[in-house]
Amino acid sequence: MTVLSSPGLLFGPGGEAILAGMRAGLEFLDSRDTGRLLERVGQTIQEIPPVAPVEKAALQDSYGGKQTEPCDDLLTGRGLFYITEQRRLCLDCTSGHYQMLWGYNHPRLCAAIEEAARAGIVWDNHAKIPQTPVKRLAQRLVEAANPPGEPDPLDTVLLGCCTGSVACEAALKMQLVCFERDRGDKATPAVVVLDGNYHGTDMVPQYLRGMWRRFVTHLEVVTVQPNDADELRAAFQRVGRRAAAFWAEPVMMNREAIPVEASYLQLARRLCDEAGAAMCLDEIQTGFWQPEVFAYRSMGFVPDMVVAGKGMTAGFHPLAAVIYRSRYDVLGQYDAITTNGSASLPSYMGLCVMDMLASQAGRVAAVGDRFMQRLSALAEQFGGVLVDARGRRHLAGLKFRRVEDAIDFHRRAVAAGLWVRVHAYHEGHSTVLTKLGLPADEQVVDFIVERFESLLRP
């Protein structure tokens, strides 16, 4: 079969050279084991021919569209490693933007995509005729969401949401429709949220974190500090039967990796039951990053709704989901879906992801535990600079005492080839964040911690 054009031609002028660089980069990554790659992290890889990157003035400013210095974006990646356009080898410590569960282009997932196409799995189709992978993924999500023998299971799934933002907004719509169904349309619903929450980029979920105040009315947002039980009790007491929902992330990856305690969420569960409010867990960050699939499964309660995305397809877009008790199943076909598709191939990726997670559950947990233990030891060793190590397993943060130190550490870590993120741009935030992909082994964990240690040394 003839291909329309080579990727090099599609890349535009200079594209063939970029393609050659990309291929050489992939060859470099594929022909070395983890140990040999770690030795070269931070170096310029001379084995790859230099490329003149495509410039990005056509992109929006927040994506670097107005950048004046030469581009140094991603040339290619494999597993936990990627090579930049200026040929630097980096170790991705945050799984892309927190979604590349199995790293870049995992060979097993790449093979699965080809196998799926050969087997007749389509990329997408109308939501009313979901193909087998969609229906099976819905079943697997229901299984993962419920403890064995759960008397009131989360038994319904809204799949086919393009991104987590769409899924979060869908969950909120369900809560508000049910509120009105159960309490009439006179009372103003109240939604209790954690300070520093992030439930996506749609307008009303952004209102939950303080944006668009002028434009949203008749919805009260009650913001409480995570893990403050008294404040939570007082909030529910104040709004009483107007409480429509409580939202939380098990680890606040958008607020300094604060782990939300099991006892606090159990209390929220009881308060939601008393008030008749929906308990909604946003597991877009945490989901699929532990053997139990969802973080809440080891925390001693069951929410009414859980939102999943990001890692669910290991970055193979698009797919997010809401898993919920059927009494919340109140939206119509066009109320909360994207392009009306059902995303068969991404759903198949979701099945593969869950299969890989199940087969490596013990290893994943052990590596995550080792990472947290070693970061905690580091926080003790450098107690003058660090407050603590926080988060859970792969989703971890190092909280600095001074914001300038966090920013400086972040800059030096990136310069040394460790792609980490920093929360330092809101008042009081001073945390460097990691979210290791699941292929990380003990060697990778030890490498990161040792590099951190050398960066922390005066």
Ligand X SMILES: Cc1ncc(COP(=O)(O)O)c(C=O)c1O
Nearer to ligand X, 223 or 376 (CB): 223
Query: Residue 220 contacts by C-beta under 8 Å, 6 or more apart in sequence?
Result: 188, 189, 190, 191, 239, 242
Q: What are phi and psi of 431, to 5 degrees?
A: -125, 130
User: Would strands 74-78 and 81-84 be described as parallel, antiparallel, or unpaired?
Assistant: antiparallel
84 is an interface residue for ligand X by CB under 6 A:
no
256 is an interface residue for ligand X by CB under 6 A:
no
Report the residue number whose CB is nearest to ligand X.
Answer: 164
Map residues 121-160 to x or -, x wherever contact with ligand X holds by CB under 6 A. ----------------------------------------
From the list 248, 249, 197, 239, the residue with the least C-alpha distance to 219 is 239
Nearer to ligand X, 284 or 378 (CB): 284
CB 72, min distance to ligand X, A: 24
| Long-range pairs, 137-146, Cβ under 8 A, ≥24 | 137/347, 137/348, 137/350, 137/351, 138/321, 140/350, 140/351, 140/354, 141/308, 141/321, 141/323, 142/323, 144/292, 144/293, 144/294, 144/297, 144/354, 145/294, 145/297, 145/302, 145/306, 145/323, 146/302
95 is an interface residue for ligand X by CB under 6 A:
no
DSSP 121-139: --S--BTTS--HHHHHHHH
CB 423, min distance to ligand X, A: 12
Nearer to ligand X, 164 or 439 (CB): 164
Element spanning 405, H or E: helix 403-415
163 is an interface residue for ligand X by CB under 6 A:
yes
344 is an interface residue for ligand X by CB under 6 A:
no
Nearer to ligand X, 320 or 379 (CB): 320
Map residues 168-197 to x or -, x wherever contact with ligand X holds by CB under 6 A. x-----------------------------
CB 286, min distance to ligand X, A: 8
346 is an interface residue for ligand X by CB under 6 A:
no
Stretch in the footprint of ligand X (CB under 6 A) among 162-170, 232-240, 324-332, 444-452? 162-170
Structure tokens at 217: 């009315």
164 is an interface residue for ligand X by CB under 6 A:
yes
Nearer to ligand X, 81 or 247 (CB): 247
Nearer to ligand X, 25 or 164 (CB): 164
d(CA 232, CA 99): 31
200 is an interface residue for ligand X by CB under 6 A:
yes
CB 180, min distance to ligand X, A: 24
Kindly identify the residues of this chain, within the stretch 220-249, that bind ligand X according to CB under 6 A.
249
Q: What CA–CA distances, in Å, run from 134 to 118, 169, 288, 310, 374?
A: 18, 21, 17, 17, 40
CB 98, min distance to ligand X, A: 6
d(CA 61, CA 294): 35
CB 1, min distance to ligand X, A: 34
Q: What are phi and psi of 276, to 5 degrees?
A: 70, 30
CB 415, min distance to ligand X, A: 25
Task: For the chain, give the longest Cα–Cα distance.
Answer: 69
* Strands (DSSP E) found in 179-314: 190-194, 220-224, 243-248, 251-252, 258-259, 278-282, 305-308
In the set 76, 84, 165, 175, which binds ligand X (CB under 6 A)?
165
Nearer to ligand X, 109 or 284 (CB): 284
Structure tokens at 317: 């877009």
284 is an interface residue for ligand X by CB under 6 A:
yes
Which region, left, alpha or beta, applies to residue 283 given φ > 0 means left and ψ of -120 to 50 means alpha? Answer: alpha
Nearer to ligand X, 251 or 389 (CB): 251
Query: Residue 31 contacts by C-beta under 8 Å, 6 or more apart in sequence?
Result: none
Nearer to ligand X, 254 or 342 (CB): 254
309 is an interface residue for ligand X by CB under 6 A:
yes
In the chain, the amino acid numbered 117 is: A
Element spanning 433, H or E: strand 431-435
Nearer to ligand X, 76 or 285 (CB): 285
350 is an interface residue for ligand X by CB under 6 A:
no
How many residues touch ligand X (CB under 6 A)?
Answer: 17
Stretch in the footprint of ligand X (CB under 6 A) among 3-11, 128-136, 221-229, 281-289? 281-289
- Under the rule (CB under 6 A), what is the footprint of ligand X? 163-165, 168, 198-201, 249, 253-254, 282, 284-285, 309-310, 320
